[in-house]
Amino acid sequence: MEEAISFDAPLVQLEKNLHVLELFHGPTLAFKDFGARFMAGLMRYFLRNSSSKLTILVATSGDTGSAVASGFYKVEGVEVIILYPSGKVSDLQEKQLTTLGENITALEIQGSFDDCQRLVKEAFLDQDLLAKYRLSSANSINIARLIPQSLYYANALAQLHEHPDKAVFVVPSGNFGNLTAGLFAKKLGMPVKDFVAATNVNASVPQYLESGIFKPHASFQTLSNAMDVGNPSNFARMLDLCNNDHSAMKKDLRAFSFDDEETVLAMQEIYSRYNYVMDPHGAIAYLGWKKYNSSSKVGVGILLETAHPAKFIETVEKNLKIKLEIPAQLQEVAQKAKQSKVLNSDYDNFKNYLLQR
């Protein structure tokens, strides 16, 4: 724990009853560092006496890949193969994925994040691949990613000078790992008033809460690309936590979705009202809070800010008309050359690549 979570998650106050939990102070500047570094540390520990090589296959919508890669970079006996959707991550995110080299390979898939996730899931069940590789997952289907994420919810309450029963966590969600970790914390006894899931137009979970019908769909591309997930993996876990009961989930969770136009307006509003620069994902959390609050529920909002705004520098600078300072970690990768292998999203093609390398 000490080694993995070597950075802070400060709670920053915007106004009375509204706070931002900044989860982007890790080495790759997104909240994914919590789960990925903890999982990498555990795997290193359990592999310490093992002679066979472990291959981590990971699908990423932007930030998972770099956090996992950074956690395993140069770790002996482990290689990481990252699948990311071509043209659907920000330039700096792509640099973070493709410039490490060494034991990290980046596959640029001509498809969506859901295609990447499908390829990975299929590979885990493929006997031909299992004969050649010892495969492991690093996506939030891996429970080791979620466990440490429960901690920062509780840590946020410890920083809040209010009664914890008033806390409303607003979680910008895509694959719903972050939100599920919050539900774990609650199940473990953490006091909380409410959870609000805020999504972009990839809204299969908000729609489920509304209608009782879960209809996964192909993902739509948005400004908050790390949440472009049409078929969230952790939905099955959320259902399980609620005993497969739609009305029980409605009690645990409110969910709202927003489009890109609303996202940009929210970024601008947060900047002019609070002089705070929010990335597009955090801006969706802010929208979720406003919607929750408008139904006159009293509480103290805690917005989970999942990435440093500089990771989305084009969107932020253009819409806020400001110049952002790029953190040192990003300046370094920005100068390196991208190295990726382009593949289409066909499973057999992907499998052949793995069998022949």
Ligand X SMILES: *Cc1c(COP(=O)(O)O)cnc(C)c1O
- Binding interface with ligand X (CB under 6 A): 30, 32, 62-63, 140, 172-178, 226-227, 281, 306-307
Q: Least distance to ligand X from the beta carbon of 30, Å?
A: 5
Q: Which of 153, 178, 169 has its CA nearest to residue 238? A: 178
**Residues 315, 343: contact at Cβ < 8 Å?**
no
- C-beta of 133 vs 208, nearer to ligand X: 208
32 is catalytic: yes
Q: Least distance to ligand X from the beta carbon of 53, Å?
A: 27
Place of tokens 């809460």: 209
Q: Least distance to ligand X from the beta carbon of 109, Å?
A: 17
Distance CA 338, CA 186 (A): 42
Q: Catalytic one among 32, 88, 290, 311?
A: 32
Distance CA 118, CA 105 (A): 18
Question: Hey, CA dihedral for 265, 175, 307, 221, is it positive or negative?
Answer: negative
- C-beta of 26 vs 172, nearer to ligand X: 172
- C-beta of 47 vs 270, nearer to ligand X: 270
**Residues 2, 148: contact at Cβ < 8 Å?**
no
Q: Least distance to ligand X from the beta carbon of 151, Å?
A: 15
**Residues 274, 14: contact at Cβ < 8 Å?**
yes
- C-beta of 99 vs 202, nearer to ligand X: 202
Distance CA 167, CA 172 (A): 16
**Residues 30, 226: contact at Cβ < 8 Å?**
yes
Q: Tell me which residues are annotated as active site.
A: 32
